[in-house]
Chain A
Amino acid sequence: MSTPLLEIDGLQKAFGAVIASENLSLDVQPGEIHAVIGPNGAGKTTLIAQLSGEIAPDAGRIAFAGEDITALPVHARALRGLARSFQITSLFPRFTVLENVALAVQAHQGHSFRFWRPAWRDPALIEPAKETLRRVAMTRREDVPAGTLAHGEQRQLELAMALAGQPRLLLLDEPTAGMGHEDSVRMVDLLLDLKQEVAMLLIEHDMDAVFRLADRITVLVYGRAIASGSPETIRTDPEVRRAYLGEEEPA
């Protein structure tokens, strides 16, 4: 086995009596999509928050590409190639679609203490931004203010912004949240396309999406990983079916 891209070891986090992560260990290999599923309140979003650096764990260690990043602030992790998309769409509504992506590109081009030249006329920002929009098939919407996009398109833009910095790992917090069936299928197709280039840690409620995308699945219940393995193993694991999937046949 190669060295994992992301390695979580013994992660521990509690909010008072509520345990969000309990001795949680998992990893993501290069080129892999690792899905984390679990019922509401299992600690999935708290896990993403700890990985991206918004919440500090009580104990445990997070390593990214062999480097211990447990103590790094949010922006430093992002610059190392750990990009995230938000569960609730988080854009710059007054900026156009292109400007949203250009802002994401700019973050990875050194410091922004540049006070003179107009940013949105800088090819060094605009060209990579356009290229990114091409990858998510949003070129036609470039000049539209992000705030006026339909929900599905906003989710696409959300993904484009995460991609713009050419990350090595995407932390995806319910990329299909609130989408209709059609949009959702399109998003999954897009993610499958991207899989060649970037590894993903995926949190998702839509089981169709999870089983189409994931190479590996970890099931989280009350902050604990009760099972981890290939989609087939998870599908047939009796404990998982009892705790999470219920007694009915999974799709």
Chain B
Amino acid sequence: MADRKLIRLLPPLLFAVALALLPVLAEAAGRGYLIGVSTNVLIFAIAASSLNLILGYGGMVSLGHAAFFGSGAYVVGILAHHAMWGAPLMVWPFHIGGTESAFIAWPLAILVSALLALVIGAISLRTSGLYFIMITLAFAQMLFFFFIALNEYGGEDGMSLWNRSHAGPLDLNDNTQFFYLVLAFTLALLFLKHRLVNSRFGVVLTGIRDNPRRMRALGYPVRRYQLAAFTLAGAVAGLAGALIANQTEFVSPTFLHWTRSGEILIMVVLGGMGTLFGPLLGAAAFLLLEETLADLTEHWMIIFGPLLLLVVLFARGGLWSLVERLRAALGGGGERR
């Protein structure tokens, strides 16, 4: 039993160690830019992971997840913008100024995204299937055009941040420190998600995915649990958005565009829906492939498309299912789906 447990825990542990050493190795190899690339991957892993909660575990196919991601980014951007120019965000009924503090801006980003998800979810979850896809898409596009219309914040062009958020003793403008902070968030969220999907709430969520009608007959108010998951996913996507605004030091409406929602969706499917590590793998594969292929040709989608097709056709459970098969071959237990 101890051996099996070790085999089960070994890959995630190795993986965490490898990630922890990454900045050191990257600097040593003279490829410091890899730190930024990895930070980017981790942030999208958080976003994809949050979508996975509702898509993979909850069976809700949302094509508007970038709305929460982008809104989180804008909260950080807008607050920083006001802090920069000293103009208050609001004078009535309360006087509210801008801020560059991570301790205020990031929780606010999470809160705003959660509230948006609560409202959008409450309306969208009255539908299901294709209609749910369309209505989440429509809401996201509404927000996309809303931010385009905000001329003060750069309209269509978006706006640049002067620097990253202030976070107490941490200097986030230092790429390595920012990387470690994002890594800590990623690992913490993965652990929380692991607890959540096995908890009472988690099993109800997967039960609803597999057989909503039966869940109702058993006595579960199905939509209430779906909405809770949707809101939670929105909140985490908001955090990812706050992080991406810091990573790129830039926010623009493209963060909310439906193609961005599509990319996050592809990351989840590519990595493995309804698995703990799948979205992380998917985000890494997607962004690294994009990076490499875009160097070869600007029409990188021509190569990426067929690759995605191959994964969907031959590795139904995504890339993570390949890892699972390998682990099964080594005698370790598989992750339950």
Contacts and interface: CB of A to CB of B under 8 A. Distances in A.
Interface of A: 52, 54, 73-76, 78-79, 83-84, 86, 90-95, 99, 103-104, 106-108, 112-120, 122, 125, 161, 165
Contact of B203 (A74, A84, A99, A108): A99
Contacts of B228: 113
A93 B203 CA distance: 13
Nearest to A114: B200
A91 B219 contact: no
23 contacts: A54-B213, A74-B216, A75-B216, A75-B218, A76-B221, A78-B216, A79-B219, A90-B213, A103-B203, A106-B204, A107-B218, A108-B219, A112-B201, A112-B203, A112-B225, A113-B228, A114-B200, A115-B195, A115-B199, A116-B199, A118-B195, A119-B200, A120-B198
Given A103-B203, A103-B207, 16 more contacts: A52-B217, A83-B217, A86-B214, A86-B217, A90-B213, A90-B214, A91-B211, A92-B210, A94-B337, A95-B210, A112-B200, A115-B201, A115-B202, A116-B195, A116-B199, A118-B199
A91 B199 contact: no
A48 to B, nearest CB: 11
B13 interface: no
B182 to A, nearest CB: 23
B83 to A, nearest CB: 34
A95 B204 CA distance: 12
A104 B201 contact: no
A103 B205 CA distance: 11
Contacts of B211: 90-92
B196 interface: yes
Nearest to B195: A116
Contacts of B213: 54, 90
B203 A119 contact: yes
Contacts of A161: 218
Given A90-B211, A92-B207, A103-B207, A78 B201 contact: no
Nearest to B204: A112
Contact of A113 (B198, B201, B203, B219): B201
Contacts of B220: 75, 107, 112
Contacts of B204: 103, 106, 112
A116 B203 CA distance: 12
Contacts of B195: 115-116, 118
B289 interface: no
A112 B210 CA distance: 17
A180 to B, nearest CB: 25
Interface string B326-337: 000000000001
B222 interface: yes
A114 B218 contact: no
Most chain B beta-carbon neighbours within 10 Å: one of A91, A93, A114, A125? A114
Nearest to B228: A113
B217 A78 contact: yes
Contacts of A92: 207, 210-211, 214
B196 A115 contact: yes
A76 B215 CA distance: 12
B201 A75 contact: no
A112 B220 CA distance: 9
Given A94-B210, A103-B207, A165 B219 contact: yes
B128 to A, nearest CB: 15
